[in-house]
Amino acid sequence: MNVKLRVLSVGALFFIGNAVSAQKVKKDTAAKETQIEEVVMVGYGKQKKSDVSGSITTVKSDVLQDKPVASVELALQGKAPGVQVANTGGRSGNETKISIRGNGSLSASNNPLYIIDGVPQESLGNLSPEDISSMEILKDAASAAIYGSRASNGVVLVETKGGRYNGKPAVSFSTSYGIQEIIKRPRLLNAQQYKQVHDVARQNYLNDIAAGTAAPPANMATLTPMPNTGIDTDWMDFVLRTGSVTNNQVSFTAGGESSKMYFSAGHIGQEGIIRGDDFEISRVRLNVEQKFADNFKIGVNSYFTYSSAKPVADDNDTYQPYSNAMAAPPNLAPYAANGKINRFNYNNPLWGFERQVTDKWQTVGANFFAIYNPIKEITLKTSLSGNIASRRYNRFDAPNTRRGEREGQPWGYGAYLTANNRDYLIENTAAYDKGFFDNRLKVNVMVGQSFQRWDYEDSSVYGENFVSNDLPWLSAAGIVNKGDSNIYSMALYSFFGRAQVSWENKYHLMVSTRYDGSSKFRDGYRWGSFPAASLGWTVSNEEFFKVPFINEFKLRASYGLTGNQTGIPYSAGMQLISSGENQNQEPGMAVLSLNSETLKWEKGKSFDAGLDLSMFNKRVNLTVDYYNKTTSDLLYRLPIGQESGFSNRLSNIGTINNKGIEISVDTKIIRGEKFKWDFGANFSYNKNVVEKIGTKSGQFTTGFVSIVKEGEALGSFYLYDAVGIAQERYEYKDQAGNVTKVVQAGDMIYRDVNGDGKIDTNDRVVFNGGIAPMYGGISTTFTYDKLDLSINAQYSIGKKIYAMYKQKQEAGAPTGYPSYSPNMVADQMNYWTPDNRDTNVPRPHMASAVAAWNNEQSTRFLENADYLRITDITIGYNFDKTNLKFIKSMRLYAQVRNPFTFTKYSGVDPEAYYYDRSLKVNQSFADTSKISSGVDTNGIPNVKVYSIGMNINF
């Protein structure tokens, strides 16, 4: 292949929609080349990238649009340094969680602030990837502090497409279809293996009874041999399916001399990998802008979203089909002889499909704005934004179902829930932008004011004793016996300002401040101030800097304060009184919560230092950042004395520190006439330390096996240290040499940390790794003529997973007749015997004392979960022009997501993420599950998706 390398023009093109956002042209007399300077979004404005002195990562729109994904967040996996994106599982319409530069909160939100077209949003769920024009991630305090009280976890700025003035009408259409399957099918015991483990467990118990090392059970019938039922059921065949994903979107842009518009409509439909798990979402967006004069224009950015889900039970639900399919004995049949779902001593996984659920949301929002320039240098902007989200949820347990029966007789239960969440924002800004001394000195000053209010309203009603299996609405209930309704509100009032100065494109200074007042706190603690400053030095523009292969070399440093009050209750600083009825159904009122009068903001202090280096005609670009961020006055509910009448109180209790380094490399390795090769990679290291909390012991557990402890990282585990399996009789002794416990050959040995001869809670040890300290992404793209191939990957280093499900499913059949034990994973067959000593799986045993000892919460179930995952492989072909004159371009592609995962983790998915779907995530509630990260509770795992698609521009 004849490849001729060619030098690229110095500079880069940066488009917003179809319009060039900055067109300041410089002439290089030596190279006689043209440069169009790149512009990035910053809070309440835009800035030349060369003038940026904070830590901002730009995600190009083509990264989000060229590949079909169900959510914007998924498209960010592995794309930005310092940004961890965790997929919470394989449910249809699943959540995706983002954290920027670690986690700095305990009960307040760890989620970043999302700003879409200047409007704060709870998530990116109302946004299609195809609608995005540009995206910036503000990571340091100097960049994010202009958003003050909600910027502690970083800010994601998104601008949607808007058409262009004097632009010809254009239509774009994209469509894709994919099939999805479980990322890795779990390996379970078949009926013969299941019986074998029970037989061995029974015989080991009988041998120990005969040897006098174990007491016989109270009822010897429990040691009855397991019968051979002749049934061998693979329950996964009845739960899993090959699902599908469809994604269609059409958009239209047009513009005249004084107006421009962008319209899009899209629909995504998902059939999940769990039978009956369906989700669909439709989105409509309309952006319009109208000039009334050269110095005055108005516009609106609006959207409507409708989603409908038929979810199966959540991960934490007793009837969740996937986890029950893991545990259901393989020697039982799914259906009885009469064709109905079988009843036995376990939760039949098929019971999870009997409940009828529909969960529908409708969301509408708009941002109306007006921009006026009284003189060229001054820009005045006012905007009014609002969002309304309405929910309708209906649940029905038919009388003939397992959950619909009452005392063994058909009965039926139903529930209907509604929610109406509203917020509006009024914002006014004034900006002054002018150059002095022949534009050597550039000054930009912006001041503003905003007010935002949220109102959350919900209601619920419950009924029972339904007349029919086919009438799922409460009008068919014989008894409507329970109901509830609530409304709560909160508001945020803010003043903010920023000044930016640049001298000769060499020295850059930015200072900003925001003053926020939150209704969540009491007077005297309601207001918070969040200043920040950053400095930049573009060394490459100095006269003394004469390195011909370096295009840009810039040093940056910043320091600032940010806050956090998102995710704590609307009444955090107040004592609430609630009304209701007592056990005698008499109405009354009582104090609902114990307030803290001095409760205040969480406050983050952050330092950042970085460099930007561009070389070889911008063919190699390197960014390096070091940061150190401390969050103080942590908000958390600490236990208090029961004599108060309450179990806990929300308090400001301590500090968390996150420090780390980020490296990003973007290269254009080959630029030939037909062949091109791009490569990019990023690496992030974050050290998270809980420096102080408000308990006397300096620690508290958070449920499951997680702990928050001073000096340790969030996502830590509190476990016994499993030394291994005793190969012969092993004795524990106290300090006086007395034998305190005897462990038989084949049973577990745990480290006696304090040497007292006992294994108790004093011997638990903290282990880190639930949140990986090192992570990143790799991407490469090959292009030959009109054919392209891209491969993207993400990796995680230092990650640990506690496989909690193995406590029951690698427990060695501890339960005998008549219930017997749940099914087990295939690793159980590697159990210890005198002839199989090289193993970490103890001998099966039906004695409850032995089984409990062998299955303590210990490092036996803590596994290395480092992984490298190929997140997508896409191959496409671009038809620049077709024989049909009205088609400008067409692209066909095929893609596979998550095709390969390289890991030593024995479970299904090393990206396992504990996520409580029952938690509400909004201004008053937060997802706190990140502090319990790394616990595999056997939730529905991630999926592989095989897709084909087409993009057409008319």
pLDDT score at 13: 27
Element containing residue 446 per DSSP (H, E)? strand 441-466
What was the pLDDT predicted at 427? 96
List CB contacts of 754: < 8 A, sequence separation 6 or more.
Answer: 762, 763
- Residue bearing the bigger pLDDT, 85 or 236: 236
The backbone region for 182, taken as left when phi is positive above 0, alpha when psi lies in -120 to 50, beta otherwise, is beta
| Greater model confidence, 682 or 109 | 682
Provide the pLDDT confidence category of residue 882 given band limits of 50, 70 and 90. low
pLDDT surpassing 80 at residue 202: yes
Beta pairing class for 155-160 and 113-116 = parallel
Selected residue with higher pLDDT from 585 and 280? 280
Check pLDDT > 90 for residue 534. yes
Most confident of 64-68, 151-155, 572-576, 740-744: 740-744
47 against 684, higher pLDDT = 684
Instruction: Point out the least confidently predicted range of 101-110, 147-156, 218-227, 665-674.
Output: 101-110
- Between CA 152 and CA 570 the distance in angstroms is 19
CA distances from 437 to 433, 434, 443, 898 (A): 14, 10, 11, 55
Q: What percent of the chain has pLDDT over 90?
A: 70
DSSP 912: -
Most confident range (mean pLDDT) of 75-79, 319-323, 580-584 is: 319-323
b (16+ CB within 10 A) / e for 69-98:
bbbbbbbbbbbbbbbbbbbbbbbbbbbbbb
User: Cβ-count burial of 771 within 10 angstroms (0-12 exposed, 13-18 middle, 19+ buried)?
Assistant: buried
Binned at pLDDT 50, 70 and 90, residue 16 comes out as very low
Mean pLDDT, residues 258-280 taken together: 95
pLDDT in tens, 385-395: 999 999 999 99
- Output the CA–CA distances (angstroms, integers) from residue 300 to 134, 304, 731, in the order listed: 18, 13, 76
Look at 315 and 476; give whichever has higher pLDDT.
476
In this model, does residue 243 exceed pLDDT 70?
yes
Range scoring the smallest mean pLDDT among 528-532, 585-589, 868-872, 891-895: 585-589
Please tell me the pTM assigned to this model.
0.90
Distance separating alpha carbons of residues 119 and 127, to the nearest angstrom: 13
Q: Is the pLDDT of residue 95 over 80?
A: no
pLDDT tops 80 at residue 27: no
The pLDDT, as a whole number, for residue 765 is: 96
What average pLDDT score do residues 716-731 get? Answer: 96
Q: Please give the pLDDT value at position 789.
A: 96
Mean pLDDT of 442-469: 95
- pLDDT at position 22 is 31
**Could you tell me the pLDDT band of residue 21, with boundaries at 50, 70 and 90?**
very low
Question: CA nearest 601: which of 514, 524, 527, 692?
Answer: 527
Instruction: Please state the rounded mean pLDDT for residues 271-286.
Output: 95
pLDDT over 70, % of the chain? 92
Q: How large is the greatest C-alpha to C-alpha distance in the chain, in angstroms?
A: 99
Structure confidence at residue 78 as a pLDDT band (50, 70, 90): confident
> Mean pLDDT over residues 14-27, rounded?
30
Kindly indicate the confidence band of residue 14, based on its pLDDT and cuts at 50, 70 and 90: very low
Residue 274: which pLDDT band, with cuts at 50, 70 and 90? very high
Q: What's the whole-number mean pLDDT along residues 40-67?
A: 83
The answer to whether 480 touches 460, Cβ cutoff 8 Å, is no
Residue 5 reports pLDDT greater than 70:
no
Q: Over range 302-320, report the average pLDDT.
A: 85
pLDDT, position 915: 57
The angle formed by the CA atoms of residues 684, 689 and 690, to the nearest 5 degrees, is 145
Measuring CA to CA, which residue among 444, 435, 557 is closest to residue 498?
Answer: 444
Locate 767 and state its tokens: 């282990």
Lowest-confidence range among 223-232, 323-332, 876-885? Answer: 876-885
All residues at 6 or more sequence positions from 918 whose CB lies less than 8 Å from its CB, including other chains: 314, 316
In this model, does residue 193 exceed pLDDT 60?
Answer: yes
* pLDDT of amino acid 933: 85
Asked whether the beta carbons of 327 and 236 are under 8 A apart, the reply is: no
Which pLDDT belongs to residue 315?
A: 60
pLDDT of residue 928: 62
**For the chain, first and last CA: distance in Å?**
34
Closest Cα to residue 202, out of 304, 673, 210, 14? 210
pLDDT tens readout for residues 730-744: 999 999 999 999 999
Confidence (pLDDT) at 24: 33
844 DSSP assignment: P
Q: How many CB atoms are located within 10 Å of the residue 935 CB?
A: 23
**Residue of higher predicted confidence among 900 and 572:** 900
Position 798 scores a pLDDT of 96
Average pLDDT, the chain: 89
738 vs 735, 745, 757, 759, CA distance in Å?
7, 20, 8, 15
Range from 140-144, 493-497, 584-588, 897-901 carrying the lowest mean pLDDT: 584-588
pLDDT at 913 over 70: no
Q: How far apart are CA 759 and CA 732, in angstroms?
A: 9
